[in-house]
Structure 1
Amino acid sequence: MNEEKRGLCMNIRYLKNVLRKARKIDDTIQLSLNSAKWEYPEGKVHETQEERCQNVKKKLFEGWLSRDQFLKECQTIVRSQLDQDRNTSKSPLKSQQQLPSSSTTQVSERLDPYAKEVQVQLSPPEEVQIVLQSELSVEQIIRDQTWEVLTNACPGMFKDWRDTYKD
């Protein structure tokens, strides 16, 4: 994979921004479905509700596929970066290094029972990996909500999206 894509996937802000923009189809699904009800000028063929539903579903699945591919590519990049970090470093990764949360001052456990807790520091690839896992969970929630809107607007036309969508 090229270095540009590696840099983009390793940037959490960019990653979230790309996904936010790619989720626009999900955010505007109700508008897309309602556009079939608008009046068309004379001479234009009016799209039926069934055609509109099929077109919206097609666009929806294209958007989902695009996001799936992006997330999978980024996961591959992060995994390879983590493997590379493990192979090049004989010392433990940052996630295995534990730092006391109050390293500068000693506080009595009576005053602060959490003073001796250990904080875990993550390496940048590990942070991105956690964000990617979170975004995959968000994808499932968004798809469930979007599919609910679609099936409410197009009753009886579609099964569960998990049965219909092929990634």
Structure 2
Amino acid sequence: MAQPLQLPPSSSSSPAILTPQFCFSTTALRDFLRISRSSVDDTITQHLNALVTPARAGFDPSSTSQRGARPLSRQVDARSCQSFKDNVLFPSWQTRSHVLSYCALVATSPDPDDPETALREAEDEKNRERVVNERLDPYSGRYFPREPRTQQLASLIRQERSVENIVRAKTWGIVTERCGETATTWEEALGTWRKTRDTT
């Protein structure tokens, strides 16, 4: 069984220590991912808007007489953007990566504490003793064994990683648009951040 994992200090939004029990509690795992995404990625536009410094000139009354289309978003200062990415966005992504990687390890580790092991063995034994006569009952040969919780967890992790890639790509698209980023992908940007953090 995978050993508990201590998360980095920047992971304040998640459990301080990851355990197999946390991963197998799919409700807790999904809730953590949902809350983490909603607090940063789902509200990325609001976060970036909050970084825009209000105009120093103040309100111009004549602006209300102009009916032309106004830009929906304003460019964010490069230093403010970098600070937001380094201190909020990337740490949030890194924490979720830690959680998903750890739970993927749990899903591929032996699971001697699975509470349904005895139940599955009993169902398998009962299936072996069944009399199959598909002429009398065409469904009698069907048997769908109960999945071990490690397989269920592995399936959930695959789904959540796919969701994570979609969420990050969408978030990064907004960040590059508002911050004037170069044409790097979110994977490259996160990788660069990880390297700089490891060297400090």
- Residue 186 of structure 2 is matched in structure 1 by 161
Deviation at 1:38, TM superposition (A): 4.9
Conserved 8 A contact 2:18-2:99? no
- Alignment of 1:147 with 2:172, yes or no, is yes
Q: Please state which structure has a larger fraction of its residues in helix.
A: 1
TM-score normalised per structure 2: 0.59
**CA distance in structure 2 between the aligned counterparts of 1:25 and 1:4, rounded to whole angstroms:** 21
* Structure 1 counterpart of 2:85, one-letter code: K
Alignment match, 1:102: none
Distance 2:49 2:144 in 1: 50
Which residue of structure 1 aligns with residue 29 of structure 2?
A: 15
Matched, 1:25 2:40: yes
1:129 paired with 2:154, answer yes
Q: Specify the alignment match of 2:94 in structure 1.
A: 65
The one-letter code sitting in structure 2 at the alignment partner of 1:162 is E
**TM-score, length basis structure 1:** 0.69
Alpha-carbon spacing, 1:75–1:156, altered in 2? closer, same or farther (3 Å): closer
Alignment size in residue pairs: 145
* Residues 78/124 of structure 1: CA separation in 2 closer, same or farther (3 Å cut): same
- What is the deviation of 1:128? 1.0
Alignment of structure 1 residues 67-106 onto 2, 5 Å: 67-82=96-111
The answer to whether residue 63 in structure 2 is matched with residue 34 in structure 1 is no
One-letter amino acid matched to 2:25: N
User: 1:6 touches 1:77 (CA, 8 Å); kept in 2?
Assistant: yes
Name the amino acid aligned to 2:149: P
In structure 1, distance between residues paired with 2:46 and 2:83: 13
CA drift at 1:51: 1.8
| Partner residue of 1:56 out of 56, 77, 84 | 84
- State the secondary structure of the residue aligned to 1:26: coil
Following the alignment from structure 1 to structure 2, what is the Cα–Cα distance between the partners of residues 108 and 9?
A: 40
Q: Distance in 2 between matches of 1:37 and 1:64?
A: 23
Shift of residue 137, structure 1, vs aligned partner: 0.7
Seq. identity, %: 24
- Closer, same or farther: CA 81–18 of 1 in aligned 2, 3 Å: farther
Cα contact 2:175–2:181 (8 A) shared by 1 = no
Q: In the TM superposition, what is the alpha-carbon distance from 1:73 to its structure 2 partner? A: 1.1
Q: Using a 3 Å threshold, how does the CA distance of structure 1 residues 5 and 156 change in structure 2: closer, same or farther?
A: closer
Larger radius of gyration: 2
> Gaps spanning 5+ residues in structure 2: where?
5-16, 56-75, 128-133, 195-200
> Is this contact kept in 1: 2:40–2:92, CA < 8 A?
yes
- One-letter code of the match for 1:26? D
Give the whole-Å Cα distance in 2 for the aligned partners of 1:4 and 1:138. Answer: 21
